[in-house]
Amino acid sequence: MSDRVAVIGAGVIGLSTALELAAKGRDVTVLADADSLESTSAVAGAVWFPYAAERSAAVDAMLATTLERFRRIVADHPEAGVDLRTGVIVERSPEPDRSWTAWVDATAVDASELEAIELPAGATGLRTTVPLATMSLYLPWLRERCAGLGVRFERRAVDDVDALARAFDVAVVAAGVRSGSLLGDDASVVPIRGQVVRVENPGVTEFVIDDDDPAGLTYVLPRRDCLVLGGTHEVGATSLEPAPAIEAGILERCARLVPAVAGAPIVSRAVGLRPGRERLRIEEVPGRALRSIAAYGHGGSGMTLSWGTAERVAALLE
């Protein structure tokens, strides 16, 4: 295949798509104004779990695809930084959405089988085992795999997709929260601010996620290099500076959920802007100077839908 493809964005969606296209023989260049480790993907919780993304048959298929791909990565590439982690999903709704368990191995058990100390008062929950990525390892691994297949990387800002027509035949727009304005035909993308605190791990081995904590989104995620404590879901907020008051709330909620993390030394802080959209957009965009594919709107499920997105983009191009 001789098509020259520009993938705009070097986060988990951009890199996964670039790798998938290169593996299918495409001539791929990744264009981004920041390194992968400076992207929103580097801030993400990076656990396979659908969060702030649409529910549809197409997305369900992408969940299954991504889960299977991560299982293969865990088995074949331990250096990638992806692990199968066991943890608890806390539920506070009388009828919680457990549809995601259809793709997980039979590792989830009824909340009544959990120790009471593992759940907040009045909550239910599931214990499950899913992929969790250490993004400081996984993103560089993706980039190295891309480079091994001949993918080129250019660090530059793209403000006009049509201007790429002189050098490329296809543009894949995977620029996260900037994607809608970059294409100029979609004002529906809303930033969803997420703030995290990374601390030294005092020995926590299981993750805990409580999306519906009345005090705010709360999660404790053990990675290989640290423990990620979060988080926030601030629709429309755009500040990339960590807020001390918000950090204090995160630390308090996480310590209440997992007492072992109380007082853990802080390693770093980070903020990212999730690309919120009512519906995921993976489609060809007509009327451009070169063939253009939109690949954005993943909300908080970029890692969770990454390989499904990559395969869908590849199918569109074929």
* Nearest of 166, 173, 168, 220 to residue 198 by alpha carbon: 220
Predicted TM-score (pTM) of this structure: 0.94
Residue ranges per structural domain of the chain? 4-317
Amino acid at 191: P
CB atoms within 10 A of CB 25: 12
Q: Residue 138's pLDDT is what?
A: 98
Tell me the CATH architecture of domain 4-317: 2-Layer Sandwich (3.30)
- For 34, counting Cβ atoms within 10 Å of its Cβ (0-12 exposed, 13-18 middle, 19+ buried), the class is middle
Terminal-residue alpha carbon distance, the chain? 10
- Do 179 and 294 touch, CB atoms closer than 8 A? yes
**DSSP-assigned letter for residue 187:** -
Tokens 């409580």 appear where? 210
CB atoms within 10 A of CB 225: 15
Helix (H), strand (E) at residue 284: strand 281-285
The CA distance from 302 to 300, in Å, is 6
**DSSP-assigned letter for residue 312:** H
One digit per residue, pLDDT tens: the chain, 318 residues?
468 999 999 999 999 999 999 999 999 999 999 999 999 999 999 999 988 677 888 888 999 999 999 999 999 999 999 999 999 999 888 888 888 888 886 444 443 456 666 688 888 888 889 999 999 999 999 999 999 999 999 999 999 999 999 999 999 999 999 999 999 889 999 999 999 999 999 999 999 999 999 999 999 999 999 999 999 999 999 999 999 999 999 999 999 999 999 999 999 999 999 999 999 999 999 999 999 999 999 999 999 999 999 999 999 998
> Dihedrals φ, ψ of 138, to 5°?
-70, -45
Task: Retrieve residue 247's tokens.
Answer: 């950090």
Tokens 């290989």 appear where? 224
* Nearest of 279, 284, 290, 288 to residue 318 by alpha carbon: 284
